[in-house]
Chains A and B, each alone.
Chain A
C-alpha cells in the first residue's frame, strides 16, 4: 500500500526553465509534507516543507504547493540549474515520527 506516490520516475528540463515535481498521497491524516534532494551514494538533504494547514511555502528558488482536496503536492524549482540534477523525494508525516517517502523522481537539468 503506497500511501505516497511519485508517478514520474524521471524528468528532464532545460536550464533556466521551471521544474515541477509532483507527489500524490492517499491518507488525509498526514500533518506535514517535506521534499528532499538526493545525490547518488549520499543521504537525502532537506529542501523545503509545508504544514497541512497551509497551501504554499516558498524558499528562494523552491516553492511547494499543497492541494488538500486533490491530495496532491508539488515542488517548483525556478529557475532550474544543472546543480539541481538529483533524485527528489517527497515525504509525508503522520504524527511526530512516522515519515512515509515516495519512490523519487530523477530530475535532469540540461545545460
Chain B
C-alpha cells in the first residue's frame, strides 16, 4: 500500500532563517506531487506541483521554492522565512489519472517568530 511521509511535524523558526521540509512517498512510482499551505482560518492553497523529477510548477509567487530530486521525494525550501510563511504545510500525491484523488501527508506546522 502507498504511504506518504512528511517531516518535521512541527517547526519553529525565526524570521530570516532558511527552511527545508521534506516529503516522501512509498508504494507507488511516478506520482504527481503537491505542496499546499493552510493559513489560519483559510482553505488549502496550492503552492507547487510536480509531474516528474526536476519538473516543478509554481502556483503562487512567494519566497518559497520546491524541488524534486528523486521520483518520490519532494522538498519545500526557503532561503529567508517571513512571518507570513507561518501555517500548516501539506504534501500530497496523486497517481491514477482516471480518479484524480489526492492523498495527503500528516502535515508540518510551521511557526515563524
Contact = CB atoms under 8 A, between A and B. Distances in A.
Interface in B36-91: 36, 41-46, 49, 51, 57, 59, 90
A97 B43 contact: no
Interface stretch (A14-22, A39-47, A58-66, A71-79): A39-47
A43 B104 contact: yes
Interface residues of B, number: 26
Interface residues of A, number: 24
A93 B46 contact: no
Nearest to B10: A41
Interface string B79-113: 00000000000101000010111111111010000
B46 A100 contact: yes
B103 A46 contact: yes
A99 B92 CA distance: 11
B109 A41 contact: yes
Interface in A34-55: 34, 36, 41-46, 49
Interface of A: 4, 6, 32, 34, 36, 41-46, 49, 89, 91, 93, 96-104
Interface of B: 32, 34, 36, 41-46, 49, 51, 57, 59, 90, 92, 97, 99-107, 109
Given A44-B104, A46-B101, A101-B46, 12 more contacts: A4-B43, A6-B43, A41-B106, A43-B106, A45-B104, A89-B44, A96-B97, A96-B100, A97-B32, A99-B102, A101-B44, A101-B45
